[in-house]
Structure 1
Amino acid sequence: MSGVALRCPEPDVLDALASGRIDAKTRSELEEHLDGCASCSSVVAELARVYGSSVPPPSAAPSGPVVRTAPLLASVGRYKLIDRIGEGGMGVVYVAHDPELDRRVALKLLRPEPGAETEERRARLVLEAQAMAKLSHPNVVTVHDVGRVGEQLFLAMELVDGVTLSRFLARGAPPRRKVLELLLLAGRGLAAAHGAGLVHRDFKPDNVLVGNDGRVRVTDFGLARVSGPAVMTDARLDVEGPTRPVALTATGMLIGTPAYMAPEQWRGEDADAKSDQFAFAVTLYESLFGVRPHDGSTMRELATNVLAGKMRPFPPAPRWLRILLERALALDPRGRFPSIDALLSELAKDRDRPKRIALSLGGMLVGTAVLVTILHFATLGTPPASGLALESAPSVEAPGQSAGIPARCEQEKETALAVWSEDRRAHLTRVRPLVAKDAAERLSKRLESATQALADARIAICVKKSDTLSDRRKACLAERHREVEAIAIVLDSINDSGGRPYADLLTATYDLPDPSLCSSEAYLRARGSAFLFGDRAQVALELDEAAKLRVLSKLDRWEDAEMIESRLLAKSQSTSLYVQGPAIVGEMLLAAGAYRARRSHDEAYQALGRAAEAARDAKDNELEARIAALLVRIYVRDTFDIKEADRWAGIGEAKTATPSELGRTAGEVAEARGDLQLALGELVRARTSFEKSLRLRQDALGAGHPEVAAARAKLVTVLVALGDSKAALDHGYAGSVAVDLALGSGSSRSVAQQRALGEALVGAGQGAEAVEILERAREVQRDFAPIFRADTALVYDQLAWADLAQLDFDGAEARIALGEQQRENAPRRETAELAISKSLLAESRRRRG
């Protein structure tokens, strides 16, 4: 078969075929050759795609044992082939069924090359695929299995329901920030592979999958490298580069797609992580601007430009982005970023500096933009369909006034933007300690985005024609305004030497409701008379204090919180205030009850019960559902009153059945139902409820929102209990990454996600890795306020589980004791958590024997 390899056409001829610059007779002869040569067929297919040829390349005919089409129910090992879904230079991909695990997989049948199929090559391919199978990361396609049947090598991978990045971009140019989100996630998958010692060598849009679940995954790691020695040893195309002639052999072409290959790959050198970085930058450039950075209508021209470092003139783009791309595309690998992680760090940092622009009054695009990835709410993500909008659509402004916006509406905008004023920004810059720099900067950006979203909503409502809902819209916006201002007011009073208040206030910004919902008729009607009251001035102080109490409850400001809570409870007894609006009293009591629940559940029941009555009188479905969800959690964790918990869960579900605008609250209720089912040991039902909660919150808030990550943490617990360690790890990693990106690693929510990830790692038998994660969480939580001591105890519980997994009984029992000490000193003691602690101790003693 070596003779066939030597008769392969010159690369110039393949280039001409791919671009349609060849006569019919020669084309016919070449197509006959391509039917039996996978190498040449792959090159032509890639070049035709790269150069956008209008002449479709001939189909690549598999060689060796791979057949063109699979007969119905044909098998490879235990896998039943269902349908062919793709084909490339490395092989054919099928949808297949794995009867042992009863799941569908993507089965790649790897195509051998004529004359190069040796046992050594097969062994190398299997070893590299096995290394990939050990890599578990939410942004990497999972390899389930690798093996051979006779001469046929196969790879069983995760079957992703979605499209390639190429096809995603072809649907229409998404906003720049959406592109950055997608590429940041893909880059994290690439970084994970590099961390495991793997190099991709063929990173490109076709090897990035955008799933319908919102996740981005990188596929085909490292497989292009195992093509073996050069096959077309006589077929060389010499291109004069900046230093020496370059040999473009067929093997060189197959170690990467030409348009994405780094200069060192064109020179025939081994590809490494810096080569992947170059390909990532080409993909980023192409995804942002619709063209690749290096021009070339032929392969020779492309190679010449890449090797000379000659790039196209940059399209309009921020200066930081140009600098980043120029560095990542440096001709000399030493001039690039030291790692893909360093590049991603710069990319994530700089993407948080958008110019704030006025609202476009045009319609908003929906569809794929709703499928927001892990970075969507890291700091200033693209606005979701529901949830706090974080960036306005662009508009054209006339000097001194936004085009088409009345002067009175301009004033509405200024009122909102004044919440995060220059004075407040300056105050934050002056008082923030060095240790709080990251949290303070994130907080500043979040408050900027929150006030802009508020301004956008104010303008949108201002320009509406007056109708029967106008007063409700204005009252709704007033409520949203006070929620944002409460955070700013509390921030004004902080002069702290530590970083905790800034991290906690940052968390509070993610709890802000979406002001755009105030424009929704369905939402307003679901709130009953919540926004129908008489004298606004009379109730403003009470609502301001309720909003402030919610913020203070997240900080260590317990003395201030106690004073406000006492005033709210006293004022809630006022008959005249109840007449003004029962929903107002309900909000006051919910704030007080939620605060009390963190210290003493006995004191919370009465306040929350009265709050629910007020919400019912106001016909405020959302408020009553929020109260119901909180009561379910208290009844489950404190008194284990199953009957009451079930009753309140039913109330919450009934109140959020419609409309869809209540999706965020419906997700909260579904989580509460899952908590109850989990406590009862109904694991399958709990999984269904937690999955529902995750779906509803993701639809409302975007995949990267900390609240969505919290839903993942709940799901991790039940997945571990059900023995689905793979899914548990996926959710554990996704939630942990999302919260760290949004809030940093020093927040209480970050610790909760690390606990969940630790639990997933223990369930997967990775006890040592779990201990490392959980020890970091314990270090962060060590300096938390006393209110969090019960949460610290949970970290010790997880550490004890990790010790038990490694048969370290002494270590486990020491951790249990430390957890008990934390609970003894905590303001509250959870019945369910005490039971967990006791079961841990019993399990340790049982295993010890």
Structure 2
Amino acid sequence: MAAECIDANTVTMWFDGELSPEERVSVQKHIHACDTCRTRFGELARVAAKTTDAAATVALRPPRKRLTVGQRIDRYAVLEWLGEGGMGVVYGAYDPKLERRVAIKVLRAETERDKDAERLLREAQSLARVSHPNVVAVYDVGEHEGHIFIAMEHVRGGTMAEWLRREKPPWRTILARYIDAARGLGAVHAAGIVHRDFKPNNVLFGDDGRVRVTDFGLARAITRPEEETSSIEGSWGGTPAYVSPEQLRRGAVDARGDQYSFCVALHEALHGELPVRGAGELAGTGVPARIRNALERGLSVDPAKRFESMDALVAELSRDRRALWLRSASVLAAAAGIAFGVVAYARAHQAIPAPCAGADRKLAGIWDEARKQPIRAAFMAVGRSYAGDAWNETERALDAYKARWVAMHTEICEATRVHGDQSEALMDLRIACLDARAREVRALTDVFASGNAKSIERSVQAVSALSRIDGCADVDAHRARVPAPSDPARRAELERLNTQVEQAEALARAEDIPAAEKTARPLIEPTRAAGDGSLEAKLHYILARAHSFRGEWALAEAEFFEATVAAERAFDELEKARAQAQLVYAISHQEGRAAEAERAGKLAGAILARLPKETGLRATLENNLGTIDERAGRYEESLEKYERALALREAETPDGYMVALGLANAANALMEMGQMPKALEYQRRAVDIYERRLGPHAPFLGMALSNMALSERSLRLLDDAERHVRRARDIYRDAYGAEHRQIWRTGGILADLLGDLGRYPEALAEAQNTLAMAERIAPQDRDMINALNSVATVYLRMGRYAEALEVEQRARALCERLGNPAHHTPDVLTLLGAAHLGLGQPRKALDPLERSHTLRVAAKPDASELAETRMLLARALWDAGVDRRRAVTLAEQVRDAYGAMPHYERERDAAVAWLESHARTIRN
């Protein structure tokens, strides 16, 4: 073969590995001696490379076997196999020392057998000193089991070749990206290194939009040109379609060889084909002549005719862009004035996007203008008065959430890509956290788009329940969690389960508890089998909420406990804290278990101490601890905890939905303490927040107005109370139609108010209408007791005692069927006693009144309610002649209680008058 020139078939056989070792040596010797074949071999090799793209590296040997997940390369833990090329095998790995993900290339050179190994190791160390945004960072070099390895930056994305095939971008965009690559090559040259294998597959185009030159397996130092001709075997490795003529003929190769390779690659990208010969045949495809001329110069066969450096080539390529911009600016200036032309120039001349720009594009289809349109239509389709306000606030809240997401994504990216003060691995974990937040938004908006009226009514609350964005900044929490499995099948299964869990969570956030439970329950076993404790914890949490919703506190406790255990397995502190904080609430609602609830609260507090940024969860825990105190009658301690929870929520979102809930809780404690003016102040603040955030037609505003009316009634602000309760009822009617549970509740409050105002016929009509509605909607419901009580109260005020007694006997029977609910039975017993007294049956009144008194004292009720029951009991004792001294004592307690309460002068005066007329008898 040495006597003949090399044909295309031989070139193809060369790259396919079909030549014998003897034939390969013969070809190399012929190329070394024949100038014609050196040129022809380069041309034919470039054509063959279109289909083979093989690297001709003869002397380098592959590692003995592929490494598996978990094995080590020096200190690096192998996570996955990424690929294999002519120069080595690439693995994804984790650096435990610097806590970052890396790519490790194990070179196909054995340190014991390859005489060039020392050179490869030395020059890889030189590359590690190169720091440039357009060069893949080399972190470390070393030896592993006889092979050299290079630990590099792990880039998420693909190669330039893949980007070109996928996007088919315009020539200006191609040029901009390749100029970035040229800058990277220039930085490598400045460090004294020649790449020697530049091609589109050795340029990475990251997901962050940044171009990086990579794969320096053939790089050699410029300062040691004698090594370029040290041997025939393997001396001109690289991809022949791109290498320079001097590299093909084993001549001295310097930075101008990389320039030639760069121009071949850029020509191919701009024109869709490789140049056939070095110069002179560049077909025009819209690319300006200046660019073609620059490429022709860079493709000169004689290195001396090329640009003196990559920087000079970059300047020439960039100068054309500046000329184009200037010409555009001058035309615009002539048409519209110099000011507009300068703006156009500035816009055209803007830099290539920063490495971390464009985070908002990742939310395309999740929350953008196209996504908003069908969701807004779903809101409007429910046909309720609150829908427009709910949409406006939901859109505003999700826009704000998106803005925080984008800001956090940019911050996390810049910490690694720009500032270099965060590891790649930690960036990946925190970005994964943000990806999970984005999936939450998608799942929730899917619920909204379904048009469920209940979910749309609670939309603002649902958005406020989304996981906090700044939680993704918690470095310690991310480090602690169990990493995702590397096995593709397991990972795919977990992703499928995760999507379903997110759907269940979205339904729960939107208060569609039955649907959330139905979705979550079948997922428990598959998630447990998959071994993801975090997902399992979320499912148990949803089921616990469903039990809480139904008042099944023991079952809720069990599920919250299971959620805590599952989260502990996954080292997921956030899920563990969330479940433990609500476990406190479930235990506190079970009689006699306050001490256990407090111990659970201490554990929850310890967990939250490790999550200092989770102020919302801390507020939830404080609120739940306050509930323990309130149920135990420790109202001052309860108020302290409610106030702490309120302060935490106000610091986070001063006028947020959760602040209004916190105000309502604190107001309840204040009412129990008899501090009605301050309670009313808190309730007015809550009403203001609801109205501003949810709109004037929101059902939650109706609830806040009803609660405020109760306080105003206690303060004898009866006109205000009537106005507010009527407005609440109008809100409920607009939201729910003519009949609804909330409408009959407000009807009962209004009937009581009208009775206070002495408008008994109106009060009776209101109470009877309320009772009829309750009987139609839920005749066996606890709220039915309140409806019966309202009717009986009006009858008592009108002196219609027999009718009052008949109604309360129905209420008593319902209480017994429902297990004597704590907040209803004392009221029923008091009214029964009052009816018997009115009928002149004091002995029949004694039993229900004594029982009511005992229950009220044990429960530490509202002072006015206890005073009312005591006064009736005093009268029954006196009239029955059973224990008149005790009757007087009770009446004195009533007098003092009413005397301590503002606006109860009439009741105090009545107690004083009774004492004056009856205590005299005792004294006499």
Q: What's the TM-score, normalizing by structure 2?
A: 0.42
Question: Relative contact order, CA 8 A, sep 6+: which one is greater?
Answer: 1
Name whichever structure is richer in helix by fraction.
Answer: 2
Give the TM-score, by structure 1 length: 0.46
